[in-house]
Structure 1
Amino acid sequence: MSTAQYIPSELIVHILKYLSHPSDLSSCALTCKSWSLHAVELLWYKPNFVRSTAWVTFCIVLQTQKTLFPYTSFIRRINLSLLSTHVQDAHLTSLNDCERLERVTLTGCSNLTDNGIIGFLGTNTNKIRKCLVSMDLGDVTNVTDISIKRIAEICPNLQGLNLSMCKEGPGRFEGITDEGIIMLSESCIGLRRIKLNNCVKVSDNSVISLAKNCPALLEIDLMNCNITNKSLLEVFKYSKELREFRLNNCADITDSAFTESALSKLPSPQSTSLHHHHQHTSLSSAYYYDQLRILDLTSIQSITDHAVRQIIAAAPKIRNLVLNKCHNITDESVLAICQLGRYLHYLHLGHCLRLTDYSIVELARHCTRIRYLDLACCGQLTDRSVVELATLPKLKRIGLVKCQNITDQAIYALTSHTRIANSLERVHLSYCSRLTIPAIMQLVNFCEKLTHLSLTSVPAFLRPDFQRFRRTPPKEFSTQQRSVFCVFSGRGVRELRGYFNQLAAMNAEALQHQQQQQQQQQQQHLQHNNNNNNNSNININNNININSQQQQPLSTTQQNILQRHVDLSHIDIPTDDVLSRLHRADGIQAMLALRNGRSLASVNLTTNSTTPTISSPNNNTPTTIGSSNTAGTQTAVTVGTSTTEIGTYDDEDINNEVFGDANDTDVL
């Protein structure tokens, strides 16, 4: 007999809860009867449906009369969102006997109608579903007040209800009205979370009824609902435990909803003390909302700095604050938000056009635990803001879409801190047209956890070689939008990083090859210069050697002049400087000086003069070269101008210039 069967049931259940994979639980079910019972119960506790065939088989088993285990009593949670298009009204009828069912998720099951919901809940109003605490009917577009009323009748302990709809067309979700919500609020007084996004027929009457009858509400979502300041005045008065409040696109809400509500009144010390100990009191109608964590005021354009200051003063521990498209707020609002300090994690300030670097810098210095920050379309912001935001150690996502003043300096700032490199995951830089490839390349390589990068309409990344790594543009995009769409996600980011590194390697290889070629050219040039210097040295020695056999014999007059004016023993020996100067225009003067027996120091190397001169050894009168006439032909030597051609002069020409013709004795 196996010892496994002697283990207490409580301990078996505790052990099996650590086995998350179904195959492991299936193996344990084969151990013995007691283990099998507990393992099967855990397997059916939250069935996982990936394929529609598994869901159909599941429904058949539930409708079977005699089964080995009481499967209907095992099921606690059902999630059919992955099979949304396959779920029909008839399928939900099989769940009618699952009396211990606690949570049902039917998100996106667009084929369901009121008949399916009622079939699941049952037609017998005396059969109360005490265990059901949560229902998600998001995007179940055919649901009406009929289903809501049945939920109110059958599920008195309901704590959460999601009736949010996607906004795809006006008037599409008019099935849910105040009638159903008011009945729900009166029956399910323990309701803690309700989402009514895009339920356009829901008005102040529903919200006021919820606030008065459901004091334990933690979350209220009213996006695009037809409400006014009246709803908010009642919510702030009665919903003392409210933690999440979303009012997106409720255009009729104004500043007075916050400045004239309970938020604007200071609580009495007694009410404050009782509130912090989670005890309700009626001694004061004013409450600090220090339990409020999420507030979404998207597109409430009437909101001003005054309202924001009041909100922050009354709710000093807000974690997520959304002020997207609140066009009237300025730096004053952001400075008030700075008081949230370490509590603030998520801040959306997109399209707040009046914000400047001043407030964003202060925000970065005071709210150091920000993880998500969106500053899209804040056109006055510059690199200065991003440089300061780059110091946030926990920043995961930053949105800078259409911040046209952002340059590469901002991107390099994001890569200058090691801590942000280990946290940054999503960067939105679309329409930042001044960014270049090197900066983005460093960002991608530096932030190894980066999973999303948007560069739509950034000119540097509209190249086909980068576009191949982008996500597929949405189908509803126009041709123009598709042409500039450039968003990299997941695998695309990794492939872009690899391509960047490939380009860098190719560039480094090309640069190395270029450097090697330059070195070879320099060596060849140096060798060529050495050869030329050797040849020049030989030529100079030949020129200095007047008795060389290569020279033409001097006339008697030239010999007499040479004996009077040239002392061969004092001729300067050509140095490296001389040799180098022989390759320039003044090389002729140096050669003439050597031929005339003078030091190079006596040569006047004035390049502006078209006629070179050599100082006379006996006086300060310079001797002009190139003015003699030989056989009726004038020969000019020009130094420092474009007419100088050193290569056109041979020994005979130089002799004529220095010594003159044998018949002309007046040259010197």
Structure 2
Amino acid sequence: MTTIVSLKLDTLHIFDGGAEPAANCRGRGGRVADDMRQVGTLCNFDNYGLSDTSTLAMDKARTLATLPPELLTEVFHCLDTKSLRAVATTCRALRRTAVPVLWANPIIPSQPPITLERLIQQYGVHIRSLSFPDPTYIDLVSVAPYLCGLLRIDLGGCAPFTVGDQQVMSLIACCPLLVAIDLRDCIDITDATLFALAKHPNVKFLEELSLARCCEVTDAGIAAIVRAANGLKTLNVTCVPCLSETALHHVAKECSNLRVLIARDSDAVSDEVLLELASGCPKLTQLDVDECLGVTEKGLLQFAQVRQDRLDEAQKFGLPDVAGSLSLLKLNGTASDAITDHSLIALLPPIDSKRAGTSICRPRLDTLELAFARHITATTFTHLAKNYAHQLTRLNLSNATISDMLSTASRTLSDFLSVQPHIRHLNLMGAVELVDDASCQVIGQTLTELETLDLSECRQLTDEGTVTIARGCTKLIDVNLKGCTELGDATVRAFVEDGSAALRVLNVGLCSRVTDESVGSLASLYTKPGGGLHTLKLSGCFNLTDAALEQFINLAPTPKSTPHPLMPLSLLCLSGCYHITDNSLARLTPHLHSLESINFYSCEGVTDATVKVIAEHCPRLQSLVMSKCRITDEGFEAIGQRCSRLHTLYAGFLSGDGPSNSGISSVLGGCKELKLLDISRCEKISDLAFGGDGMLQVQVLMVRCCPRVTFTGLAGFVERCPRLQKVDITGCCGISVEEKNQLKELVDGRW
């Protein structure tokens, strides 16, 4: 039930069957909430002539259908998806208004009841923002004409190699209103797409463009688009290997409205580029230059100085729209001497309360990421605590240190965190000098809004600190404690008994003190309303046995009792849990219909029996790691017949007989989306395993220590795999040194 309250109208309670005045709902669970009055304000009822003296009084108009469509649209935008669907099923009049709102920003399921093409053909005219679950296969050329009202498109979820210049050009031609285009991971995109976009008559309205990992885009394409779309506010050029400094020079020159620049792992970012960006992009508030080794302390200081000069000039002469500070700063993995007290304080200067004026934009510091920072001292944290308290929502100090006073580093971090209670995402991975039980207690007592926490490799932590976090941070969704070797059952039990009901991801890998007792108790999370882990990582917990999974099996319903599994587990990692056998795993996996990734590396008690059950009952499986297990052709054939979505298969160094040519051929023939295949030390396979017709999507092949594999067989396989990037033939005695060089040339030549 959804409650809508207006200052001008009586309260309406929307039920599945329609709407009623609030007076008729009392005693039936209806509620009138004062804090919902904002809905009426947002809808601006006065614009529709609905005043206190309006002739459209609620005592005469008892249904929503009598309200003007414009007002209904405003009201429906305040509803969640479930409520909106309920409204759409009440009557045709409400459906006509609800459907466009419902489909304006649709959530596409991974397995829609009908094809995506049919969905878009039917409702595409209403869609304003569209993204796809990963991986999605869709014919963009055929659906583009139905998306004429599209404003934002995200193609990052489309399957690899399915989005090229032709597909994007079709969208550009059919969607004249586009303001945001996300082409991340569309590695077939070239400059041709950017040239076509630059020629589009409405390109001046383009505000957001992501080209992350578009490997074939060059400086020429970037120059063309930024000249035409000089109104760009967000640009992402992460991992675009063909870009040079020239491309970002064009960005600095043409994009004076740029607010967000993301250029991770890019050789194009240098001190000179930062200087030009500071001068040419005065509105920049978010800067992400992770892994950009060309950035030094000098460059950051120059960038900060130019921005400060522009700010002073704006204050003095009243210049429009100059950013006063950064809201996001990511310097993870930059040059080791780039992140210092001097550079950080310059980039995040003290807040001057005397500065005033609407021309200066002062966003709050929302995100700060300084992974691997080795040259900062307590001075930086004192400065940030004084000037930016109660602002951060995301902090990354993984593998960072406080260099001046290591003995008090934990206290310094604790003092800083105590004035940042709104942090929702905290990464302290490997920060062994900053994190101890005392700082964990501050986290548990202060960061009550925390959603994701990474304390992996903090080996000095004990159960005392993490139990405090489990009890205090009751909104946690993702917890990573991998490598915290001193943690044991008390920590896991705390997350089960006192922790967040929203917990979905838990990683206690290499916590060897964790036993069957606490892991089994995790099953009780699935008995809570909406509860249950989606990801469970137990790698290296070598004390676990089949008893750890027994409680999961006891809670699971029989396949006949319900079509929906009780446990929505999508990733299960049991690597190194060598006491786990078929006795538990083969009985558990029939209930894991949502499973996408499973790892039972080095579990020698797991055999073909488990693999066949997984293949039969886990239709969404994408990644399977079964190296060092007892798997034969029987298991491989089951994979080839049923695991059509599989993209990663590790099956090297298997115990026993291992697979023959027929088993490998079955996998290659049935798993059309396979990208990585490891069949190292499968001594029975030969060139015949790689024969067959048809092209394959394999990008990485590992055939180490396979004595019967020769150059001839692998050369033929290379021809079948146009996207092949790596072939590992270490220890293949049937291939000479000269042939190894020839094979390397065959693979590298296409790239």
- Whether these two folds match at TM > 0.5 is yes
C-alpha contact (below 8 Å) 2:300/2:338 kept by paired residues: no
* 1:454 corresponds to which of 525, 534, 537: 537
The verdict on how the C-alpha distance between 1:350 and 1:91 changes in structure 2, with shifts beyond 3 A counting, is closer
The verdict on how the C-alpha distance between 1:93 and 1:485 changes in structure 2, with shifts beyond 3 A counting, is farther
The residue type equivalent to 2:270 in the other structure is S
C-alpha contact (below 8 Å) 1:46/1:75 kept by paired residues: yes
5 Å matches for 1:597-608? none
Shift of 1:144: 1.1
C-alpha contact (below 8 Å) 2:341/2:379 kept by paired residues: no
The residue type equivalent to 2:486 in the other structure is N
Partner secondary structure for residue 390 of structure 1: helix
5 Å matches for 1:244-393? 244-258=328-342, 261-262=345-346, 266-271=350-355, 274=356, 279-280=359-360, 291-316=364-389, 317-328=391-402, 330-354=409-433, 355-393=435-473
Question: Which residue of the partner structure matches residue 81 of structure 1?
Answer: 156
The residue type equivalent to 2:354 in the other structure is Q
C-alpha distance in 2 between matches for 1:230 and 1:490:
59
The verdict on how the C-alpha distance between 1:42 and 1:15 changes in structure 2, with shifts beyond 3 A counting, is farther
Shift of 1:75: 3.2
The residue type equivalent to 1:108 in the other structure is D
Task: Kindly provide the CA deviation profile for residues 532-569 of structure 1, in whole angstroms up to 9, marking residues without a partner as x.
Answer: xxxxxxxxxxxxxxxxxxxxxxxxxxxxxxxxxxxxxx
Matched, 1:425 2:504: yes
The residue type equivalent to 2:157 in the other structure is L
The verdict on how the C-alpha distance between 1:315 and 1:41 changes in structure 2, with shifts beyond 3 A counting, is same
C-alpha contact (below 8 Å) 1:229/1:252 kept by paired residues: no
Matched, 1:210 2:277: yes
C-alpha distance in 2 between matches for 1:98 and 1:257:
48
Task: Kindly provide the CA deviation profile for residues 45-82 of structure 1, in whole angstroms up to 9, marking residues without a partner as x.
Answer: 446778756423135x48xxxxxxxx74x332333333
* 2:494 corresponds to which of 413, 417, 422: 413
The verdict on how the C-alpha distance between 1:224 and 1:483 changes in structure 2, with shifts beyond 3 A counting, is farther
* 2:143 corresponds to which of 58, 80, 98: 58
The verdict on how the C-alpha distance between 1:174 and 1:371 changes in structure 2, with shifts beyond 3 A counting, is closer
C-alpha distance in 2 between matches for 1:264 and 1:183:
26
C-alpha distance in 1 between matches for 2:590 and 2:169:
41
Matched, 1:229 2:297: yes
Structure 1 residue runs without a partner (length 5+): 63-70, 166-172, 282-288, 496-668
Shift of 1:445: 1.5
Matched, 1:105 2:221: no
C-alpha contact (below 8 Å) 1:189/1:214 kept by paired residues: yes
TM-score for the superposition, normalised by structure 2? 0.52
Task: Kindly provide the CA deviation profile for residues 390-432 of structure 1, in whole angstroms up to 9, marking residues without a partner as x.
Answer: 3314341332211111122333333443xx2423332221111
Partner secondary structure for residue 295 of structure 1: strand
Higher helix proportion = 1
Question: Which residue of the partner structure matches residue 484 of structure 2?
Answer: 403
The verdict on how the C-alpha distance between 1:118 and 1:6 changes in structure 2, with shifts beyond 3 A counting, is farther
Partner secondary structure for residue 460 of structure 1: coil
Shift of 1:299: 1.9
C-alpha contact (below 8 Å) 2:570/2:594 kept by paired residues: no
C-alpha distance in 1 between matches for 2:438 and 2:273:
42
Shift of 1:438: 1.1
The verdict on how the C-alpha distance between 1:194 and 1:298 changes in structure 2, with shifts beyond 3 A counting, is same
C-alpha distance in 2 between matches for 1:401 and 1:76:
42
Question: Which residue of the partner structure matches residue 93 of structure 1?
Answer: 169
C-alpha distance in 2 between matches for 1:251 and 1:485:
44
Partner secondary structure for residue 364 of structure 2: coil
Shift of 1:293: 0.9
Task: Kindly provide the CA deviation profile for residues 275-303 of structure 1, in whole angstroms up to 9, marking residues without a partner as x.
Answer: xx75429xxxxxxx871111111122333
Higher relative contact order (CA 8 A, sep 6+): 1
The verdict on how the C-alpha distance between 1:371 and 1:471 changes in structure 2, with shifts beyond 3 A counting, is closer
C-alpha contact (below 8 Å) 1:215/1:241 kept by paired residues: no
C-alpha distance in 2 between matches for 1:151 and 1:400:
44
C-alpha contact (below 8 Å) 2:393/2:424 kept by paired residues: yes
The verdict on how the C-alpha distance between 1:381 and 1:195 changes in structure 2, with shifts beyond 3 A counting, is same
Shift of 1:267: 4.4
The verdict on how the C-alpha distance between 1:16 and 1:278 changes in structure 2, with shifts beyond 3 A counting, is same
The verdict on how the C-alpha distance between 1:252 and 1:28 changes in structure 2, with shifts beyond 3 A counting, is farther
C-alpha contact (below 8 Å) 2:300/2:347 kept by paired residues: no
Shift of 1:262: 3.0
Question: Which residue of the partner structure matches residue 175 of structure 1?
Answer: 242
The verdict on how the C-alpha distance between 1:47 and 1:459 changes in structure 2, with shifts beyond 3 A counting, is closer
C-alpha contact (below 8 Å) 1:349/1:374 kept by paired residues: yes
The residue type equivalent to 2:544 in the other structure is F
C-alpha contact (below 8 Å) 1:114/1:142 kept by paired residues: yes
C-alpha distance in 2 between matches for 1:111 and 1:338:
44
The residue type equivalent to 2:275 in the other structure is I
C-alpha contact (below 8 Å) 1:457/1:484 kept by paired residues: no
C-alpha distance in 2 between matches for 1:138 and 1:147:
14
5 Å matches for 1:99-248? 99-122=176-199, 127=201, 129-165=203-239, 173-225=240-292, 226-237=294-305, 238=307, 239-248=323-332
Runs of 4+ in 1 over 6 A off after TM superposition: 5-9, 15-21, 27-32, 38-41, 48-51, 467-474, 480-491
C-alpha distance in 2 between matches for 1:410 and 1:49:
37
Shift of 1:196: 0.7
C-alpha contact (below 8 Å) 1:145/1:175 kept by paired residues: yes
C-alpha contact (below 8 Å) 2:542/2:576 kept by paired residues: no
Percent identity over the alignment is 19
The residue type equivalent to 1:429 in the other structure is V
C-alpha contact (below 8 Å) 2:475/2:502 kept by paired residues: yes
TM-score for the superposition, normalised by structure 1? 0.58
C-alpha contact (below 8 Å) 2:519/2:548 kept by paired residues: no
What is the RMSD of the two structures over their aligned residues, measured on CA atoms?
4.4
